[in-house]
Structure 1
Amino acid sequence: MTLTTGEGTAADQAASTRTVSRLFPWVVFTLTFGLLLSDYMSRQVLSAVFPYLKTEWALTDTQLGSLTSIVALTVGILAVPLSLLGDRWGRARAVVLMGVVWSLATIGSAVAADYGQLLVARFLIGVGEAAYGSVGLAVVLAVFAAHRRASLTGAFMAGGSFGSVLGVALGGVFAAQFGWRWAFGAMGVIGLLLAALYLVLINERKLAEHKVDDEAGTGPALAAGQQRARLSTLFSTPAVILAYLGGGLQLFIAGSLFAWLPSYLNRAHGMAPQRAAGIAALLILVMGAGMIVCGMVTDRMGRRNPASKWTTAIVFAVLTLVLLGSAFVMKPTGFQLLLIAVGCFFAAGTTGPTGAMVARLTHESIRATAFGTYTFFNNLLGLAAGPIVTGALADRLGLENAMRYVPLVSVLAIVALVAGSRAYPSSLRKLDAAAGGQQGGSA
């Protein structure tokens, strides 16, 4: 009887372990995704209150654009060093600390007395958010199998769109009902609550227990005895550099849409600020849905031919150029809004494919740093450049005319992605040769 009981207990423990192993990765994804929503809610709530700030403080469009761009610029500059710290210090601890910092800074935005104080608060939001996308995505990919990378990357990055939707929509409601300061305060409180929940449920030990090692052929190898890849491998192949560039350039369009769609609808279509914020939120929601679907399509096509990830990214960028390029030269009508919606669906569809390529071409031991580098390019070339460049053009040409130029940046993204697809085979051979040489030298 005793022997039977012991065997039953061992079986029960094994079953329990398998159940936890299946559940915990989704807990990680859900909470990490939830904090990403908070990240972008804190970042993009500003767009919903642009009309109020412009009226109350008499700000120019360039100043309004700078309040958005300062966050993305700070994220871009600090993404790599703070992601490196996350790899070394502990990714779960870093996630919680970042959530607390950006949430407190968002609450600080609510009490800003003028443009200068708000700019400082927005800078601090950027400090808190700088490495979150990279560290958070590295946490998620570490507990899932490699064949889901494009889908998970697209879904995770879509949190930026969904968070922007919630930030713009809820911000518009709070601003209309209680004043624009309450919009910032509410976003900050939500972030603090999520950070506290993350602290309770996720830690370094649990992440280590559920870590899924890279399968053969899904990531560069390390030399025998080497614990961590060299940082130089972040730029060791032309293909990974072109993935950084192509992904970043395409997000110029997404950054401009995040920041200026509410104002565009307010000015071009004559919508009231609250209605403009609501419609813009729906369009950004479409963008997030597109990121998820485009990532899933990319993974499905990449099962037989991994190089097809480049092809899907190129197709998504071409569709963005054609659809949004056509929409913004039209007069403001219902059909134009429909065309903008379809263009938004593909506008950030390249994030899944390019993120998967970055993961394929860099080692897991420095993956948060690799995604920090990816974030640097996404923000410097895209999310930071888009709002402020579009705002500067709007001051000179008017916002309607400025938006006509935004989709043209897809041309540069397409060039980078085509070059990346051509460099990909030789880049893989270079990685394999380098790993083989290091292992031979170690032997």
Structure 2
Amino acid sequence: MAFHHSPADDDIDTSVGIPRTYAWVVFALTFGLLLSDYMSRQVLNAVFPLLKSEWALSDGQLGLLSGIVALMVGLLTFPLSLLADRFGRIKSLALMALLWSLATLGCGLAQDYPQMFIARFMVGVGEAAYGSVGIAVVLSVFPKHLRATLAAAFMAGGMFGSVLGMAIGGVLAAHLGWRWAFAGMALFGLLLAVLYPIIVKESRTSPKRFATAASKVVDSAARPLRTLYSSRSVIATYIGSGLQLFVGGTVIVWMPSYLNRYYAMGTDKAAGIAALIVLSSGAGMILCGMLSDRLCRQNAERKVSLAIAYCLGSCLLLSAAFALPVGPAQLVLIGLGMLIAAGTTGPAGAMVANLTHYSVHGTAFATLTLVNNLLGLAPGPFITGKVSDVIGLQAAFQLVPLISIGAALVFFYARRHYLRDVAKLRGAPSELKVGPLACEVQS
């Protein structure tokens, strides 16, 4: 059954009146802070071998240092994003960046495992709501038909930040020691935290500019918070996205260690190769998001089908890769698998934006981030580390891609209800005849 509605029924275009040049400046600075966010988070992966040796840590303990950040992001993203939606997104973003940068500096000063754990805990607190609030700011200054591309491009900043964090961190650690790896990430974040509120202004990006127009939106928008959980497809989107990121997030965290152990690479070389694999994932996020926007303008349901295809394709490629012996062929397959492993980010982001009211998009993406972290980014590295302690990292990696099958099944469930739920949110009849001015629900 197909569902159609007029473009007039779509949610309000919050980019009206914002110059495109200013919009790109906002994107660049917000993207820069996202780079800092993930550089501070993932630099730890590059120094895993050094910490393991210096402090005699198990893989489970190392995985916990990574997982605690994702856990705090998951637990705090919703309340902090809700506060940011209500009290000012721009000031909130600057304060978050200041906190995670200072906490990253604390990682470099840690003298033992407990101190490092506390510092990583505070990194997680600082980063908790940045991704959700940052993407809400970006979407608010661009036209809504670019949502999948922008969501994918913005979230790809996490991958590029991971690349820079691991690559630069690996080089700094190899030449100056692991403490300078953390210090370098901290200084970059502090600089951007100071510049951001000076250039990006709340008055030009806040959805409160549309408070009057919002009162004219259909009755379902009068209670916008309910749209965060009121449809089966949005809940399924949250879960499917989280399960798929279990795979991509785990490979990113443990790849430097995998290369160090099975390819006998040094810290800097292992971090560099791992960074290239992560770069492949980031490029894939953007390409998959662009593909989603291009193919789904006339058929909104295709974005869900693409998400399913990305899940199953990554499962096939990564399973084949980790079944091979070490060597160039394995690395190529890992790169190809990671190219599409995070491809669900763009479609999932666009689906969440289309299924929730614009005034709570920060909180909606917080909910997505919450599930991404609680189902994927937090348990993935920790569980894999525990499994690795028992059967080895190679065998653990062979099990990880199977999670994508579960993600594909959940997205398939979302596909069955997506168009009906979007039509319900917009106040449109569940099924309308296609006329000259009618169109499919757009991203």
1:370 to 343, 361, 364: 364
Following the alignment from structure 2 to structure 1, what is the Cα–Cα distance between the partners of residues 315 and 279? Answer: 19
Task: Tell me the CA shift for residue 208 of structure 1.
Answer: 4.1
SS at match of 1:170: helix
Q: 1:251 to 1:209 in 2, by over 3 A?
A: closer
Give 1:368-407 correspondences, 5 Å limit: 368-407=362-401
Deviations 1:206-231 (A, max 9, x none): 22499799x9xxxx997569986442
Output the amino acid matched with 2:241: G
Output the amino acid matched with 2:257: S
Following the alignment from structure 2 to structure 1, what is the Cα–Cα distance between the partners of residues 80 and 176? Answer: 36
What is the aligned partner in structure 2 of residue 198 from structure 1?
196
Following the alignment from structure 1 to structure 2, what is the Cα–Cα distance between the partners of residues 351 and 283? Answer: 17
Check if 1:291 corresponds to 2:285. yes
Following the alignment from structure 2 to structure 1, what is the Cα–Cα distance between the partners of residues 419 and 278? Answer: 35
Task: Tell me the CA shift for residue 258 of structure 1.
Answer: 1.6
Task: Tell me the CA shift for residue 283 of structure 1.
Answer: 0.4
SS at match of 1:328: helix
Output the amino acid matched with 1:138: A
**Native 8 Å contact 2:221 2:357 kept in 1:** no
Following the alignment from structure 1 to structure 2, what is the Cα–Cα distance between the partners of residues 230 and 369? Answer: 10
SS at match of 2:82: helix
Deviations 1:339-374 (A, max 9, x none): 111001001000000110000000111110000000
Q: 1:149 to 1:201 in 2, by over 3 A?
A: same
What is the aligned partner in structure 2 of residue 149 from structure 1?
147
What is the aligned partner in structure 1 of residue 316 from structure 2?
322
Output the amino acid matched with 2:252: F
Task: Tell me the CA shift for residue 280 of structure 1.
Answer: 0.1
Deviations 1:352-405 (A, max 9, x none): 001100000001111100000000011111111111011011000100111001
What is the aligned partner in structure 1 of residue 228 from structure 2?
234
What is the aligned partner in structure 2 of residue 24 from structure 1?
22
Check if 1:354 corresponds to 2:352. no
**Native 8 Å contact 1:237 1:430 kept in 2:** no
Structure number with greater Rg is 1
Query: What TM-score, normalized to structure 1?
Result: 0.90
Give 1:102-181 correspondences, 5 Å limit: 102-181=100-179
**Native 8 Å contact 2:218 2:426 kept in 1:** no
Following the alignment from structure 1 to structure 2, what is the Cα–Cα distance between the partners of residues 193 and 294? Answer: 32
Following the alignment from structure 2 to structure 1, what is the Cα–Cα distance between the partners of residues 415 and 176? Answer: 51
Output the amino acid matched with 2:198: V
Following the alignment from structure 1 to structure 2, what is the Cα–Cα distance between the partners of residues 178 and 305? Answer: 53
Output the amino acid matched with 2:43: V
Structure 2 gaps of 5+ residues are: 1-15, 431-443
Following the alignment from structure 1 to structure 2, what is the Cα–Cα distance between the partners of residues 405 and 222? Answer: 51
**Native 8 Å contact 1:45 1:184 kept in 2:** yes
Deviating more after overlay: 18-27 vs 184-193: 18-27
**Native 8 Å contact 1:228 1:366 kept in 2:** no
**Native 8 Å contact 1:223 1:435 kept in 2:** no
Following the alignment from structure 1 to structure 2, what is the Cα–Cα distance between the partners of residues 188 and 242? Answer: 36
Output the amino acid matched with 1:66: L
Following the alignment from structure 2 to structure 1, what is the Cα–Cα distance between the partners of residues 220 and 417? Answer: 27
Q: 1:402 to 1:430 in 2, by over 3 A?
A: same
**How much identity, in percent, do the aligned residues show?**
53
Task: Tell me the CA shift for residue 432 of structure 1.
Answer: 4.2
Following the alignment from structure 1 to structure 2, what is the Cα–Cα distance between the partners of residues 339 and 180? Answer: 30
Deviations 1:52-98 (A, max 9, x none): 00000000000000000000000000010000001001111111010
Following the alignment from structure 2 to structure 1, what is the Cα–Cα distance between the partners of residues 103 and 401? Answer: 32
**Native 8 Å contact 1:229 1:365 kept in 2:** no
Q: 1:226 to 1:430 in 2, by over 3 A?
A: closer
Task: Tell me the CA shift for residue 273 of structure 1.
Answer: 1.7
What is the aligned partner in structure 2 of residue 86 from structure 1?
84
Task: Tell me the CA shift for residue 205 of structure 1.
Answer: 1.2
Task: Tell me the CA shift for residue 426 of structure 1.
Answer: 2.8
Output the amino acid matched with 1:324: L
Task: Tell me the CA shift for residue 113 of structure 1.
Answer: 1.0
Following the alignment from structure 2 to structure 1, what is the Cα–Cα distance between the partners of residues 216 and 391? Answer: 53
Query: What TM-score, normalized to structure 2?
Result: 0.90
**Native 8 Å contact 2:356 2:425 kept in 1:** no
Following the alignment from structure 2 to structure 1, what is the Cα–Cα distance between the partners of residues 419 and 185? Answer: 45
Deviations 1:296-346 (A, max 9, x none): 000001111111110111111111000001101111011111111100100
Give 1:254-273 correspondences, 5 Å limit: 254-273=248-267
Task: Tell me the CA shift for residue 257 of structure 1.
Answer: 1.3
| Residue-pair matches, total | 414
Check if 1:307 corresponds to 2:301. yes
What is the aligned partner in structure 2 of residue 335 from structure 1?
329
